[in-house]
Structure 1
Amino acid sequence: MSFAMQDETANNTDEQDVPVDQPVEDSNKSMDEINAEIEQELEEAMVEEELNREDQLEAEVAELKNKLLRTAADLENYRKRSTRDKADAIRYGNQRLLEDLLPVIDNFGMGMQASEQDSGSMIYMGMSMVQKQLDDFLANQGVQVVDLQPGAKFDPKVHDAMAQEESETFEEGQIIRVMRKGYKMGDRLVRPANVVVVQAPAVESEEASEEASAE
């Protein structure tokens, strides 16, 4: 066989590997398909960005709402505090004056007690009228005497124990007598009452000491 025939046979064999009537598949996409995919990706990105923006705006709105509520609460508390302070200033504005006036009232009361033996005199009657005016003045200012009766229980919130004494009538810790009146202005204590309080009998104290030593 000649070389020319061998070349022709090889060429025929190569042509048979790829038939002429079978089209070759093109893997490249068309420009329309590419543009459509790009537009879809852009739309998805825009939707995602819009959703993120909405979440961000909702978070900002919630934060501003919380700040507004806190500001409103602080303002309301400030308004209540200012109203309370103003009421206290009006209610207790004369407390310092009353504190300075109370010793004068005490001295006047002692003068009244000393003149009771001559209760029919004009001087005593005049002093009684002044005493009533003082009592009315204190009442108008919202001042009240700390109500104490013999036998009342000692209360360190409104009483000052000036002395202790034994008593057969009252029990330990009870008040025997008042040495100086106490006063309150509303719920505020202006001056505590000076009182004498019952102490435990000496015999009982000695027995308690002996029992404690024996133990």
Structure 2
Amino acid sequence: MKKKFAKIHDKTKAEEPGKIEILTDEPAEEPENEPVAEPTPESLEAAAPTAETEAPEPLQHQLLRLQADFDNFRKRTAREKQEWIQFASEQLARDILPVLDHFELGLSDSQKNGAGSAFVEGFQLIYNQFRTALEKNGIVGMEPEGELFDPNFHEAMTYMPSDTVPEGHVVTQTRRGYKIGAKLLRAAQVIVSSGPAAE
């Protein structure tokens, strides 16, 4: 009686996966004169995956991605830090500007009334030092007299006829405007020319 065994071929054989071969005690048919090629070292190296060719490719892409992400994170953090510094500077400047306005008013009033020259000169020096400190931090006062009225930088308080200033241009400012860098910190309050007076 013949014993029959079932064997499932594994995937490395050229036959279809899942095909069942029945083994018997009878000798298997051998192919006639089929030469068996011996593997050469070159063919073995070409067939065998190396750690340098296959594994590093995905790792290198991951490394490049991580480096790019970190670089973007560093740039974003530096930009956010500058924005916070800018925001803090703007807040401080907005709180200081009314004090500077009152200082200017007091100084101009004391010059008009002819108060003691040493007193006025001392306040003028303090005022200049204050303005210099603001300018060092990028806070610059605007001088809009004679400029074309720009609603982005000027706040029109009233119109006034003027023979010397063309229509639509600033005659004078009633409150100084300030910029921090290129950004408007506070608009200048101005009087705008309505053109020559009607006769």
TM over 0.5: yes
Q: What secondary structure, in the 3-state scheme, does the structure 2 residue paired with 1:115 have?
A: helix
Counterpart of 2:24 in structure 1 is none
How far the C-alpha of 1:144 sits from its partner, in A, is 0.8
Q: CA deviation at 1:79?
A: 1.1
Alignment of 1:78-89 (within 5 A): 78-89=73-84
Residue 136 of structure 1: CA displacement? 2.6
What secondary structure sits across from 2:88 in the alignment? coil
With structure 1 as the length reference, what TM-score do the two structures score? 0.58
- The 3-state SS of whatever aligns with 1:32 is coil
Percent identical: 32
User: Which residue matches 1:31?
Assistant: 30
Matched, 1:75 2:74: no
Aligned with 1:137 (options 133, 137, 150): 133
Query: Aligned runs of 1:134-213 on 2, under 5 Å?
Result: 134-148=130-144, 150-199=145-194
- Could you say if the C-alpha distance between residues 75 and 156 of structure 1 is closer, same or farther in structure 2, counting changes exceeding 3 Å? farther
**Amino acid in structure 1 at the alignment position of 2:111:** E
1:49-88 superposed Cα distances (whole Å, 9 cap, x missing partner): x99x99xx97x97666555544433322221121122234
Q: TM-score, normalised by structure 2?
A: 0.62
Equivalent of residue 124 in structure 1, options 120, 138, 144: 120
Query: Does the aligned pair in 2 maintain the 1:118–1:124 contact within 8 Å?
Result: no
More helix by share: 1
Cα shift readout 1:77-123 (whole Å, capped 9, x = no counterpart): 22112112223434553321221111111111111111113446133
1:92/1:185 contact within 8 Å kept: no
Q: Deviations over 1:141-183 (max 9, x none)?
A: 32111232x2212222222222223333233321111111011
Structure 1 residues 67 and 133, CA gap change in structure 2 (3 angstroms): same
Name the CA shift for 1:180/1:64 in 2 (closer, same or farther; >3 Å): same
What SS does structure 1 have at the residue aligned with 2:31?
A: helix
- Contact 2:141 2:179 (C-alpha < 8 Å) held by counterparts: yes
1:43 is matched with: none
- Structure 2 counterpart of 1:31, one-letter code: E
SS state of the match for residue 156, structure 1? coil
State the 1:32 CA deviation: 2.1
Question: Is residue 183–residue 190 contact of structure 1 (8 Å, CA) maintained in 2?
Answer: yes
Match of 2:109 in 1: 114
Matched to 1:75, the amino acid is: F
Long gaps (5+) in structure 2: 1-28, 38-45
**Counterparts in 2 of 1:77 and 1:160: CA distance versus 1, 3 Å:** farther
Unaligned runs of 5+ in 1: 1-29, 41-49, 204-215
Q: Where does residue 95 of structure 1 map in the other structure?
A: 90
**2:162 match: secondary structure:** coil
CA RMSD of aligned residues (A): 3.6
CA distance in 2, matches of 1:194, 1:110: 15
Report the AA paired with residue 161 of structure 2.
E
